[in-house]
Amino acid sequence: MNENNSPLKTKLDWSAYESYGSFGSFDFGGFGESAAAAPATGDGYAKAAAVCMGKRHCQQKDKGVMCPSYRVTDDEKHSTHHRAVTLKAALDGKYGAHPFLSAELAEAMELCVSCKGCKSECPHGVDMALLRVEALAQRWQQLGHVPLRERLFANMPRLARHLKLINWVGALRKRVPLIARTMESGLGIAARRSLPRAAAQDFISSQPQSVAVADGAREVVLLVDTFSNHLDPQIAQAALEVLQAAGYTVHVARAAAGERALCCGRTFLSSGLIDEARAEATRLLDALTPFAVRGLPVIGLEPSCLLMLRDEYHALNLGERVTKLAKSAVLLEEFLAREYDAKRLALPLKPLTGKVLVHGHCHQKAFGAMPAMAKVLGLVPGLQVEFIESSCCGMSGSFGMEAEHYDVSMKMGELSLLPTVRAADADTLLIANGTSCRHQIRDGAAREATHLAQVLRLALPLPANSAN
């Protein structure tokens, strides 16, 4: 029990774990044989931590994602297992009245990149990414404020529409190293890391709300995330054209009139700002529920954003609408593969000669979307597809931007991804559906990766085929 003997009021909904029973008894790193049992404080959150049964699969280096930090440090304290043990110790009061400010818990959580690998690859499905979110939220509450850098990264969706006005800062920073070093010392943003560059025109504001291709055509909803909207609108444009070419009427998801563009809330959640994440998710639910009720597929482009609708939204206390939306939410590759299997896909694709290397986003792998990628790319005649066997790219949202994590971030990339990309011929296409993954490839291998939607757009037999 915590020293202050007060119950922990969690920020997320952990009720799904409250019915879990005994977790057995194992000797977890000297914490005692009762360490496998759920701590007395924390209810469902404590039981979610106790899902770890000490199998230590996270301390192996098999194929797969888990655990990126252990893979590069070879240190047990940077594994999912140790994080779970340390969190349970914190909830049991071993680190004082303010356990979420403890050095022990901070050190255990520091290199977690929220890859979701443990949720799919751990024999017991430990969701350390979500456990870490709650720990961060509790830390900020006990600290009394959220650090400036974390607030900046979290507020990316609210700041994104203004980024194009300060692109010059990133350009000047590259030419004047003193600026980069000042940003590192003042904000903790790695001097060796490039800054995101916004497009001159976002996607949403330039598009009609719906585009019908023919009377009676099947309808779909395109959910354009913050990154595809403001940083890479060419990806959203390519996806729109691919869906139209396949004969679908496409509704572009929009916020209410006068509001900024929709956002899933991922950046807020990853930073432990749960109230802000919930507010963004509520806006998205308001916009998408009418489509979901009609049974329309909601198609996303950024894995960490779209899959949040199927995963973390259930922990945000958003009501029954989440279940309906979760059933409708699919990545572009999942939708196209499903349509192909149902013999409904009529997508004319011309041959593309050459090779394509594919790096899967951690969440694509964790939620089983990679077979759909393989199936859809296999529809392009002549394309030679090779999937890179890799763990996390190392960027993981803001993780690779943080000065203290830059070296570890690059080591993760150097395990296999970056060397494979560097060794590829100059004319080899590179696919990475994640914004962070493309950023890491750009910084670490000086190559530009593209999105599945852009490769499919290249294969469309249309004039002005230039969406690359």
* Short-list 395, 407, 403, CA closest to 434: 395
- The pLDDT tens digits for 407-421 are 999 999 999 999 999
What's the pLDDT score for residue 61?
87
Query: In the prediction, which pLDDT does 251 show?
Result: 95
Q: Where are the beta strands (DSSP E) in 123-256?
A: 210-211, 219-223, 249-252
pLDDT at position 127 is: 96
The angle that helices 321-328 and 274-293 make with each other, rounded to 10 degrees, is 70
Give dist(CA 322, CA 65) in Å, integer: 27
The pTM of this model reads 0.92
Provide the pLDDT for residue 33.
35
Q: Which pLDDT value is given to residue 67?
A: 94
The helix/strand/coil state of 122 is: coil
Work out whether strand 354-359 and strand 429-432 pair parallel, antiparallel, or are unpaired: parallel
Report how far apart the first and last C-alpha atoms of the chain are (Å, whole number).
57
24 by Cβ neighbours in 10 Å (0-12 / 13-18 / 19+) ranks as exposed
Residue 28 has a pLDDT of 37
**Cα–Cα distance, 365 to 367 (Å, whole number):** 5
Report the pLDDT value the prediction gives residue 32, as an integer from 0 to 100. Answer: 36
The tokens for 52 are 């770890």
Q: What is the CA 110 to chain-centroid distance, rounded?
A: 17
| 3-state secondary structure at position 32 | coil
What digits encode the pLDDT tens for the residues 357-400?
Answer: 999 999 999 999 999 999 999 999 999 999 999 999 999 999 99
> What pLDDT score does 268 carry?
98
Cα–Cα distance for residue pair 304/363, rounded to 1 Å: 6
Backbone angles phi, psi at 183, to 5 degrees: -65, -35
Q: What is the pLDDT of residue 6?
A: 61
- Closest by CA position to 222, among listed 231, 55, 207, 420: 207
Ranges of residues in the chain whose predicted pLDDT is under 50: 1-5, 23-35, 464-468
Predicted confidence at residue 295, as pLDDT, reads: 96
